[in-house]
């Protein structure tokens, strides 16, 4: 069955139009993947502006990733045929919007935010000082859940973090005058709760629209309530079957709270416009296995039938990655440089791809960031342009951390944690000596000149003189060019000055920097990257025509004509962590999110015991195939390119 064209505005179907044109103030659109929820939200904004005389500056739209925010902005730009209208709206993630509000409130006083690594370093010290035997990472998780109000809400989550650790951590941050990620949201919520706060900002929340509502947590729900305020205009969309952030304290029961507290009305959508009927059927089988209870959102395919979902079996992760690379080259009609014979043989079994694809039509998804590495290797060898989106492990690398600390401190000399990290990294004096320098610095004027004076006045052992001089030189060199030069040039020269060339993580940092025009935007994006969308480019020239590699979490809300999901193995999907229980429901929903990104072709890859979720898909819905014959694999292994 094909979609029946309607005569409704914006090409919407009846249900979508009902939501877009609803006279109600609090409206929830609850529907499955690919049913046009985001489209409906975009059209609602257009409708408010065109038909109801709402000014674009009165619109605030919240999503969960920067990528989704960009996507929403570009859909609006297309809709209005100009950039101006969307530019007047506030569109962003909870974190970016809160940061914007805080900056407005604080005026010239810079806000200093510490990243996860600095937070971990602080906790490590506290745990040591209190002589406790808990892992700093677990402690940070517990603290985060506490701050997000996840533990106050009755949703069965618990933490064993001693109150002393929590308190010491909070007071340490206060002492340094810094905030962590969670504080960004907490601070805004608290200040909105104080009566006179909000002030001038209140007008901008006349119309609040929230995408991916299933992923909000207690504090975000609190923000939504405050931001909606008296206007009462709240439009939320979401899909309980795609809730994948339970570990961060989100809970789809907030839908019920919304209905109750806002007397919201509900609209359901059921036509899926994204995927072929084969993809929908397989995904539905996963999310609604026979044994499970009621269906929340049913999906009807409008696009009709296409090719079957493929389950490709390999011997190991390595063969799996080679297969993906070769298959991508086949799809885009590229030439296989490695082994044309084998490729030709494998072609015989399969009909040639019906249409030619571009690299940008293809996404390769996986459960954990770690899986990207082997894929990257194979893509580089096969000459496939790619971008890896997602929270980047490279930020944990020492030289990267030192670079980021240095420039963060230069941009904001009030950032004491970054200064301490620099002193440590540059090995300027002993730990005690560093703390003394820090004390003097905090007591005096907090700027670069003052720091240079202190460093010059501090009597240092001869062995440390070079280090200190070196540090002063760097401060003097980079401060004046910080706002003048492009981030790419700055990082390039920093790499040279510090002899960091050839280090892979620094290359990645450089590639990320050239995508920005300003140092502060670059650093901020790195910081908010944990919201899952820093993009790093594999090829030297950043090309928009590239395959996307990302986790299933990061892929939420996006769609691709061709979607590969790697590592569909037991233990990976669902992911078995040694120290925590598996939330089977959430893992199942995550796999469902991954599968439903595909428009035309879905290819699942397994190299061990297949994921138990595969068993829920009926045999006849899948084509099972081997990636390579054993002999072919032997040939690849011998190839020196992959040595």
Chosen from ligand ATP, Mg ion, none, partner binding at 433 (C-beta under 5 to 8 Å by type): none
Closest CB to ligand ATP: residue number:
36
Which residue is listed with tokens 């002899």? 499
Q: Quick one: what does residue 16 bind among Mg ion, ligand ATP, none, with the CB cut-off 5 to 8 Å set by partner type?
A: ligand ATP
Span interacting with ligand ATP, options 31-39, 192-200, 226-234, 330-338, rule CB under 6 A: 31-39
| Residue from the set 44, 67, 274, 516 that interacts with ligand ATP by CB under 6 A | 274
For residue 34, say whether it is annotated as part of any ligand binding site. yes
Q: Please list every residue from 254 through 273 that binds ligand ATP, using CB under 6 A.
A: 273
Q: Shortest distance, CB of residue 553 to Mg ion, whole angstroms?
A: 14
- Minimum distance, C-beta of residue 198 to Mg ion, in the bound complex (Å): 29
Does the protein bind ligand ATP through residue 610 (CB under 6 A)?
Answer: no
- The string of DSSP letters for 188-219 reads HHHHHHSTT-SGGGGGGGSEEEESSGGG-BHH
| Shortest distance in whole angstroms from residue 296 CB to ligand ATP | 13
In the list ligand ATP, Mg ion, none, the entry touching 11 (Cβ below 5 to 8 angstroms by class) is ligand ATP
With binding defined as CB under 6 A, does residue 12 bind ligand ATP? Answer: yes
- 338 versus 550: smaller Cβ distance to ligand ATP: 550
Select the residue interacting with ligand ATP from 15, 19, 37, 390 (CB under 6 A): 37
CB of 594 to ligand ATP, least distance (A): 11
User: Binders of ligand ATP among 536-595, rule CB under 6 A?
Assistant: 557, 559
In whole angstroms, the minimum distance from the beta carbon of 10 to ligand ATP comes to 8
Closest among 300, 240, 311 to 276, alpha carbons compared: 300
Q: How many Cβ atoms sit within 10 Å of the Cβ of residue 190?
A: 13
Q: H/E element holding 182? A: helix 181-193
Least Cα distance to 63 among 246, 179, 210 occurs for: 210
Q: How far is CA 253 from CA 9, 52, 151, 247, 547, in A?
A: 33, 32, 15, 15, 36
Flag whether 630 is marked binding: no
User: In the beta sheet, which residues pair with residue 366?
Assistant: 551
Q: Is 264 annotated as a binding residue?
A: no
CA 512/CA 536 separation, integer angstroms: 6
The C-alpha atoms of residue 38 and residue 71 are separated, in whole angstroms, by 10
Per CB under 6 A, contacts with ligand ATP among 221-240 are 239
**Please, where are the H alpha helices in 1-115?**
14-20, 37-52, 66-80, 84-87, 94-106
The CA distance from 357 to 538, in Å, is: 19
Site for ligand ATP in 324-383 (CB under 6 A): none
Binding site for Mg ion (CB under 5 A): 37-38, 557
- The residue written with tokens 């002393």 in the block is 164
Contact by Cβ (8 Å): 119, 140: yes
Written as one string, the DSSP assignment of 47-79 is HHHHHH---GGGEEEEESSHHHHHHHHHHHHHH
Task: Choose from Mg ion, ligand ATP, none: what does 346 bind? Cβ within 5-8 Å by kind.
Answer: none
> Annotation-wise, does 225 bind a ligand?
no
Q: Which of 19, 26, 36, 510 forms a contact with ligand ATP (CB under 6 A)?
A: 36
Annotated binding site for ATP: 31-38
Binding residues (CB under 6 A) for ligand ATP: these are 3, 11-13, 16, 31, 33-39, 239, 242, 273-274, 557, 559
């Amino acid at each position: 069955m094909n979609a029946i064209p309607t005569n409704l505005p914006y090409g919407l179907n009846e249900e979508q139009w009902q939501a877009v044109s609803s006279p109600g103030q609090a409206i929830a659109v609850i529907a499955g993947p690919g049913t046009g929820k985001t489209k409906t939200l975009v059209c609602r904004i257009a409708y408010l502006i065109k038909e109801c005389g709402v000014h674009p500056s009165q619109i605030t739209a919240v999503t969960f990733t920067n990528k989704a925010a960009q996507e929403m902005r570009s859909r609006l730009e297309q809709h209005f045929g100009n950039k101006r209208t969307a530019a007047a709206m506030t569109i962003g993630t909870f974190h970016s919007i809160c940061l914007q509000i805080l900056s407005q409130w604080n005026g010239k006083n810079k806000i200093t935010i510490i990243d996860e690594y600095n937070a971990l370093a602080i906790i490590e010290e506290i745990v040591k000082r209190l002589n406790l035997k808990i892992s700093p990472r677990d402690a940070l998780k517990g603290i985060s859940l506490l701050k997000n109000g996840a533990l106050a809400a009755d949703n069965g989550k618990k933490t064993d973090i001693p109150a002393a650790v929590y308190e010491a951590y909070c007071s340490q941050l206060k002492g340094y005058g810094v905030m962590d990620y969670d504080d960004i949201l907490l601070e805004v919520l608290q200040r909105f709760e104080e009566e006179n706060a909000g002030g001038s900002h209140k007008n901008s929340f006349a119309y609040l629209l929230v995408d991916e509502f299933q992923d909000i947590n207690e504090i975000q729900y609190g923000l939504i309530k405050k931001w909606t305020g008296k206007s009462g205009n709240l439009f939320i969309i979401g899909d309980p079957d795609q809730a994948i952030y339970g570990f961060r304290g989100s809970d789809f029961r907030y839908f019920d709270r919304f209905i109750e507290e806002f007397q919201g009305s509900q609209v359901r959508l059921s036509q899926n416009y994204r995927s072929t009927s084969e993809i929908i059927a397989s995904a539905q089988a996963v999310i609604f296995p026979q044994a499970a209870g009621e269906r929340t959102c049913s999906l009807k395919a409008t696009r009709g039938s296409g090719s079957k979902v493929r389950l490709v079996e390999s011997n190991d992760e390595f063969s799996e990655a080679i297969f993906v690379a070769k298959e991508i080259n086949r799809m885009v009609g590229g030439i296989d440089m490695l082994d044309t014979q084998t490729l030709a043989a494998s072609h015989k079994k399969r009909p040639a791809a019906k249409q030619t694809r571009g690299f940008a039509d293809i996404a390769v998804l996986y459960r954990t960031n770690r899986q990207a590495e082997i894929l990257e290797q194979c893509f580089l060898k096969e000459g496939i342009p790619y971008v890896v989106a997602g929270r980047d492990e490279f930020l944990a690398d020492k030289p990267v951390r030192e670079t980021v600390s240095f420039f963060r401190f230069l941009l904001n000399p009030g950032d004491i944690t970054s200064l301490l990290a620099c002193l440590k990294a540059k090995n300027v004096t002993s730990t005690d000596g560093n703390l003394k320098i820090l004390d003097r610095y905090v007591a005096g004027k907090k700027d670069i000149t003052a720091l240079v004076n202190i460093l010059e006045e501090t009597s240092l052992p001869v062995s440390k003189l070079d280090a200190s001089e070196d540090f002063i030189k760097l401060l003097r060199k980079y401060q004046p060019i910080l706002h003048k030069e492009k981030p790419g040039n700055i990082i390039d020269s920093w790499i040279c000055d510090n002899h960091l060339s050839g280090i892979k993580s620094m290359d990645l940092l450089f590639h990320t920097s050239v995508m920005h025009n300003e140092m502060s935007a670059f650093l901020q994006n790195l910081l908010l990257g944990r919201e899952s969308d820093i993009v790093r480019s594999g090829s030297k020239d950043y090309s928009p025509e590239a395959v996307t590699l990302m986790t299933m979490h990061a892929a939420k809300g996006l769609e691709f004509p061709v979607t590969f999901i790697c590592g569909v193995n037991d233990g990976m999907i669902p992911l078995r962590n040694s120290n925590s229980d598996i939330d089977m429901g959430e893992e199942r929903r995550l796999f469902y999110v991954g599968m439903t990104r595909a428009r035309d072709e879905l290819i699942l890859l397994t190299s061990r015991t297949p994921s138990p979720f595969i068993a829920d898909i009926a045999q006849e819905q899948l084509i099972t195939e081997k990636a390579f014959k054993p002999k072919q694999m032997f040939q690849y292994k011998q190839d020196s390119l992959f040595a």
